[in-house]
Amino acid sequence: MKKKLLLLALAPVLALAFTVCAPVPFDRYGQTLLDVPYCTMDGEPQRMDVYFPASGGPWPALVYIHGGGWTEGDKSEATDLGAEMSARGYVVFSLNYRLYPAARFPAMIEDVKCAIRSMRAHASAYNLDPQRIGAMGASAGGHLAALLGTTDANAGFEAGEYLRQSSRVQAVVAMSGLTDLGRDFPNRGIETLILVNFGRDQMVSGSPVTYATPDDPPFLILHGDNDGVVPVEQGALMQEALTTAGAPSQLVIVTNGDHGLSSFDGTSRPTPDEIWALIVEFLDANLMAVRP
């Protein structure tokens, strides 16, 4: 009798505990969320767009980092990418981040790293697998994606919220990216942007090649040999640094490829469709496969 009374007395407590601990069903299938705050930096929320697959999960995540010389660009340029990759079973995050001249480096990489930590802190809300996160970017976005792939907490770029989470990623696609800022840049516009955003004192610390180590994630590096903005040498330097460190990487040089990895006359090889197939194959091999 006493046992029965005790169970009756505990029933409301047990019911509350079950309510609190029961998982919340995921209800964002097939949706796109715009302007989602991920971290607050300098008192301002930094925002991202999120593209969800129609079913399944927990999904691998693909983080897109826009280009624009660290001075312009917007997360909205990933609209087609978000639709394509979410249909392939990835939850896609497209990031905005602080830009020059309102902010200077390392603000940009601090924001990107905070975004990764925020994603991991809210993994269940996004129905993502925190052990399968890839980063992808072009030009300045390729620079930030490569820097994200090569740096850990020792680099000093961890700032903002969720500091108990890791900002490491498991795969990187770097397209037409800057990798060694101390080299010559024939394009004077880019050279000027490097000087005003990084200064001479941060050219080494802002260069992804500085941090290459054996535990870096797999890299797919794509660069056009006719790139008039960022010399093709920059892609080769990243490949060399990773190879020397013993990290896995693949360099694809696009013949007749410009900064956008194509050509006006259609002679670039691999073709844009072939480049896209390489990217999907690389991401699937490193993120989509079920890890033991």
13 lies in some domain: no
Q: Concatenated DSSP letters for 20-44? A: HHSPPPP--TT-EEEEEEEEEETTE
Residue 289 pLDDT: 76
Residue 5 pLDDT: 42
Higher-pLDDT residue of 15, 243? 243
11 lies in some domain: no
3 lies in some domain: no
Task: Write out the residue range of the structural domain in which residue 203 sits.
Answer: 25-288
pLDDT over 70 at 272, yes or no: yes
Which CATH number covers residue 144?
3.40.50.1820
4 lies in some domain: no
16 lies in some domain: no
Name the band, by pLDDT with cuts 50, 70 and 90, for residue 290: low
| Over residues 61-84, mean pLDDT | 98
Q: Model-level pTM?
A: 0.91
8 lies in some domain: no
CA distance 169 to 63: 9
What average pLDDT does the chain have? 92
CA distance 174 to 53: 24
pLDDT digits (tens, 9 = 90+) for 78-128: 999 999 999 999 999 999 999 999 999 999 999 999 999 999 999 999 999
pLDDT over 60 at 159, yes or no: yes
67 contacts 140 by C-beta, under 8 angstroms:
yes
pLDDT digits (tens, 9 = 90+) for 211-234: 999 999 999 999 999 999 999 999
1 lies in some domain: no
Structure tokens of 31?
């949706």
| Over residues 251-257, mean pLDDT | 98
* Inter-helix orientation angle 107-121/140-150, to 10°: 60
95 lies in some domain: yes
* Tally of domains within the chain: 1
H or E element at residue 156:
none
pLDDT digits (tens, 9 = 90+) for 23-55: 557 999 999 999 999 999 999 999 999 999 999
In angstroms, the first-to-last Cα distance of the chain is 50
SS3 196: helix
Query: What is the separation of C-alpha 13 from the centre of its chain, rounded to a whole number of angstroms?
Result: 43
Percentage of the chain beyond pLDDT 90 is: 90
